[in-house]
Structure 1
Amino acid sequence: MPQNDFVPWATGSGANVYSQATYAANAARQIGVVDGEADPQLANNAWRQGSVIASMVGSFIAAAGYDARDNSDLTTLLVNFQNAITQLAQASSPSGISLLHSGPDTSTTPNQIVISTVTPGVASLQDYQIYEVVPANSITGTATLKIGSLPVLPLLRRDGGQFVNGDALAGSPFLVVKLGSAFRRLSATPSEFITTVLPYTPAGANSVFAFTPGVALSDITGGATSGYSGPFTVAQSLTVPAGAHYAAIQAVAAFRIADSGGADCRTRIRTTVQGSSPILSTKYQGVRPAGGNQIPCPISLTLQNLDPTKSVFVELLVDKSETVTSPIYDPRIDVQYG
């Protein structure tokens, strides 16, 4: 429990002090103590006024959850007083307004972020507190966040799901908010965006997916001149097992072209029913990213009247029109079948 060592002087019943009017009019109060015998009542008045203020400040610090110790450690006392002021200001802020707390990640363990010291400081974790997180290590899966000596809480995506590999890179800042028993990222992660683009459909359907977070391909096949010339590059693939009468295929790949002029890029789907020749979809989706911008290119295809005795091999194909370097990010295929 927070401790306040600063106690008031001469505040008890019958204290040996002057009345306030007598003390205020006392000449010694106005010019200071002079040589001669000390006046105990005058001294008690002065000590009481100073000690009452000190005790009040100490009580304010302790009420905020910090110690106010009479141990000559002025530095800690000042820090605790500043933290108490900050906490009061945050609590008094209008609804919806929070102070931003920040500090370096001192953890050396991936997925276990530790901010040992945050500014402004906090004495306890409260809902709607906002923290800036700059992970020292890339987040590769289920993650936690610890603020100072306060309890460790799960660190979740904006949608409440767990982080996956590629959602947060080392040194890349993002904001989180404390909500209930966890911290939630305020912005969407790459895996959330893919989920948003590729919603799961019919209830009760079986599903398979293939997902490679981060950079999957350093470059893709492209034409030497303007216009698609192929051949396609396989960005992702999976197999739909036998037993399906239909398959709803959704796929996406994100293109990033550093060249300022950009390049035409497109995605297509190729399917191969077990024992048959590959079929390239006539439908394709195209984008033209440029200047380092990353643009997702989703595509979908539905197969019906499938032979349930045969499996189906599904491939996400990509190509481009120019020879500029075109890395592919987060290629994913989702299939619902039944």
Structure 2
Amino acid sequence: MAEQDFQPFAAAVGANVLTQAEYLALAALGPGFSSGILPSNNLNKVLRQSSIMAAVLGDLIEGVSGQNVLDDGTTTTILSNLASSIMRGGGIGIDSGAANAYIVALPIAPIAYETGMIVRFVPLNANTGASTINVNGLGVVDVIGQAGDVLQGAEIGVAPTAVIFNGTEFELLYSMGGKFQVPPATASNQAVNLGQSVAGGTLLDLTASRSLGTTYTNSTARPKIVMISVI
């Protein structure tokens, strides 16, 4: 586990600090402290305000990037790891489930499923049919394809995968190497799915050579598509 040096100051229960209301009413809140004796509860509150945010940011960097966050007086490495955390988009989850039943642990655990949240992980197994996902123990949720249908198999590969929560289910955004579910086309420039392209007939892969002048005859209600490649 990586080392995270930035910890909150005066965060214990009953710590000697101003209440939040007292802090907001503090005359020095705007101009800062000047000369004189500074009450310890004033200083402790100021230190806690800054240190607790530093600790949260440090925990985020360590959790998402997996790198050390060291208090060594420099900022270069911390800044680099912060940038890495941002690019990782919340971290890559670890899958411990089985095919069709994915159990994912994110490095920074969410407290609930929220509409629009994206979960990235690398599955241990490809799916063979309808699938579910459980993120950090928040509950089992169905995974559907881009067309809004249950998965049929091979949509999820053993490769980087991302799903997005739509408020009810997780929709598969991508899975490298997985099959892509295509919704039925409703306009001329949209992609068609296999069901639309077959249109009740059968697509044949004719790899043998055909001479010019070959005649193809359609069966009743079975449209034929002939693709010609001239070399």
The interval holding the TM-score normalised by the smaller chain is 0.5 to 0.7
Identity between Structure 1 and Structure 2 (%):
13
Cα distance, 1:174–1:77 mapped onto 2, change above 3 Å:
closer
Give the structure with higher Rg (CA): 1
> Of 92, 106, 110, which aligns to 1:117?
106
CA distance in structure 2 between the partners assigned to 1:146 and 1:269 by the alignment: 52
Cα distance, 1:9–1:186 mapped onto 2, change above 3 Å:
same
Q: SS in structure 1 opposite 2:34?
A: helix
Q: For 2:179, give the aligned amino acid.
A: P
Q: SS in structure 2 opposite 1:48?
A: helix
Cα distance per residue 1:178-237 (max 9 Å; x no partner)? 111211112496363496334469xxxxxxx9xxxxxxxxxxxxxxxxxxxxxxxxxxxx
Aligned twin of 2:202: 251
> Of 24, 37, 50, which aligns to 2:34?
24
**Does 2:165 align with 1:190?**
no
- Aligned-pair CA distance for 1:154: 1.3
> Quick check: 2:141–2:169 contact (8 Å CA) kept in 1?
yes
Bigger relative CO (Cα 8 Å, ≥ 6 apart): 1
Aligned twin of 2:188: none
Q: SS in structure 1 opposite 2:39?
A: helix
Which residues in structure 2 correspond to 1:297-312 (within 5 Å)?
Answer: none
Aligned twin of 1:180: 167
Which residues in structure 2 correspond to 1:270-289 (within 5 Å)?
Answer: 283-286=224-227
CA distance in structure 2 between the partners assigned to 1:186 and 1:47 by the alignment: 51
CA distance in structure 2 between the partners assigned to 1:174 and 1:158 by the alignment: 13
- Aligned-pair CA distance for 1:48: 2.7
**Does 2:170 align with 1:151?**
no
CA distance in structure 2 between the partners assigned to 1:8 and 1:168 by the alignment: 50
Structure (1/2) with the larger helix percentage: 2
**Does 2:16 align with 1:9?**
yes
Give the TM-score normalised by structure 1.
0.38
- Aligned-pair CA distance for 1:285: 2.5
Give the TM-score normalised by structure 2.
0.52
> Quick check: 1:7–1:51 contact (8 Å CA) kept in 2?
no
Q: For 2:43, give the aligned amino acid.
A: Q
Q: SS in structure 1 opposite 2:200?
A: strand
> Quick check: 1:7–1:55 contact (8 Å CA) kept in 2?
no
Q: For 1:179, give the aligned amino acid.
A: N
- Aligned-pair CA distance for 1:114: 1.8
Q: Over aligned residues, Cα RMSD in angstroms?
A: 4.9
Cα distance per residue 1:250-298 (max 9 Å; x no partner)? 334789xxxxxxx7789x9997xxxxxxx9x89453366xxxxxxxxxx
Q: For 1:9, give the aligned amino acid.
A: N
Q: How many aligned positions are there?
A: 173
> Quick check: 1:105–1:113 contact (8 Å CA) kept in 2?
no
> Quick check: 1:103–1:132 contact (8 Å CA) kept in 2?
yes
CA distance in structure 1 between the partners assigned to 2:204 and 2:14 by the alignment: 67
- Aligned-pair CA distance for 1:161: 0.9
CA distance in structure 2 between the partners assigned to 1:8 and 1:155 by the alignment: 46
Cα distance, 1:111–1:55 mapped onto 2, change above 3 Å:
same
Cα distance, 1:81–1:99 mapped onto 2, change above 3 Å:
closer
Which residues in structure 2 correspond to 1:1-338 (within 5 Å)?
Answer: 5=12, 9=16, 11=18, 24-26=34-36, 42=37, 45-54=39-48, 78-79=58-59, 100-118=89-107, 122-169=110-157, 171-187=158-174, 190=179, 192-193=181-182, 196-199=192-195, 249-252=200-203, 283-286=224-227
- Aligned-pair CA distance for 1:10: 5.5
Cα distance per residue 1:42-68 (max 9 Å; x no partner)? 4x713432235426765x79xxxxxxx
Cα distance, 1:253–1:134 mapped onto 2, change above 3 Å:
farther
Q: For 2:159, give the aligned amino acid.
A: S
CA distance in structure 2 between the partners assigned to 1:5 and 1:78 by the alignment: 19
